[in-house]
Amino acid sequence: MIGRLNHVAIAVPDLDAAAAQYRDALGAEVGAPQAEPDHGVTVVFITLPNTKIELLHPLGADSPIAGFLQKNPSGGIHHICYEVEDIIAARDNLQAQGARVLGTGEPKIGAHGKPVLFLHPKDFNGCLVELEEV
């Protein structure tokens, strides 16, 4: 059902400093910041030869990333994202197996302009999983 790894998301307390570290110290291709108000985050994508890193920073006081950074002030891995061909079929299959989909269960449009869903970390060994339709 799952396809390739799309990205690993890292919550960061300072988006500019984190982006500069990837660009300057590691020589990575760093995208421009994108505000994603529906998700309460500002993101920067780091393009690697085989996947992407998504830097996440809170956008507004109600951002879920703000809570994550309160618990993890230095930042840390927030979630991993896998590609799926059919997000509704993937959701239905996972729910039939007992996995919990966060939110309403209906896909939202993610930072790549494609439908996404998040799966409860308690159902995936403590890891928040994002599914993105390709």
User: 33-69 burial, b if ≥16 CB within 10 A, otherwise e?
Assistant: eeebeebbbbbbbbeeeeebbbbbbbbeeebbbbebb
Catalytic residues: 130
